[in-house]
Amino acid sequence: MNIVDALDARRGTTCFVGAGGKKTTMATLAERLDHAVVTATVRIPIFDGWVEEVVVTETPREAIENATAWPLGVVPTQERPDRYRGYDPETVADLTDIDHPILVKADGARMREFKAPSDREPQLPPTASTVVPIASAHVVGEPLTDDIVHRVDEVAAITGLDPGDEIRPQDVAAVLVHEQGGLKDIPPDATAVPLLNMVDDERLETNARAVAEAIHDRADVPRVVLAEMRADDPLVAVV
């Protein structure tokens, strides 16, 4: 199995939530997919460097149908020099009949490695076929602080931890598959495939496997993917 198939990204609309490598994961998949479309339903940093073209347009269908360069990015507007604004979820949902894999950034994390969503997140299109909740394997053993965690209070509410407590494998698992965490607002027909990223040594793989085991104890997901998205072969394991 390769990383594209492990994340069920070869077709349909694949949405990425959580923290610890959403953009890197999307870039890795876009490079390996035929005719991938990259977009967002939330703000997204400038990503021109890992697609062939970005079209700023209010009519993404037209841009996709007329595209000659792939992977293609589509966004409605450039909000600031360093970021684009995303489409509303219904606009992305309207693209579901297009015969291209669509990769969607569906929440924000402010460069942290672990998070729980706010009351306004995620922004998932109802036609999402796969939702990938992401966390970094690096957070296991670290304290629950805003240095590495986005929305400490929300993570604490799900896990029962207090700010400053050590994050355990079961805490990462709890957030990734909680209905107010990584599985929040997931469409009924979508498949959830949790991803532990930044698994770049044996210790981190051990931690990530412990998270994966705890996920399977808590939720009915087809697999948990362990990866290092910066590696030439990003797939570490499927658990």
CA distance linking residue 127 with residue 15, whole number of Å: 10
For residue 64, the model assigns a pLDDT of 97
Predicted structure pTM score: 0.97
For residue 47, the model assigns a pLDDT of 97
- Listed by start position, the domains of the chain span 3-36+100-238
CA distance linking residue 29 with residue 21, whole number of Å: 12
Inter-CA distances, 42 with 76, 107, 115, 121, 210, Å? 11, 6, 16, 9, 31
- CATH fit for domain 3-36+100-238, picks 1.10.10, 3.30.70, 3.40.50, 1.10.20: 3.40.50
Q: Tens digit of pLDDT per residue, the chain (239 long)?
A: 999 999 999 999 999 999 999 999 999 999 999 999 999 999 999 999 999 999 999 999 999 999 999 999 999 999 999 999 999 999 999 999 999 999 999 998 888 999 999 999 999 999 999 999 999 999 999 999 999 999 999 999 999 999 999 999 999 999 999 999 999 999 999 999 999 999 999 999 999 999 999 999 999 999 999 999 999 999 999 99
For residue 151, the model assigns a pLDDT of 95
- Strand residues in the chain grouped as ranges (E): 13-18, 37-40, 44-45, 53-56, 72-75, 77-80, 83-85, 102-105, 114-115, 130-136, 149-150, 191-192, 195-197, 225-227, 235-238
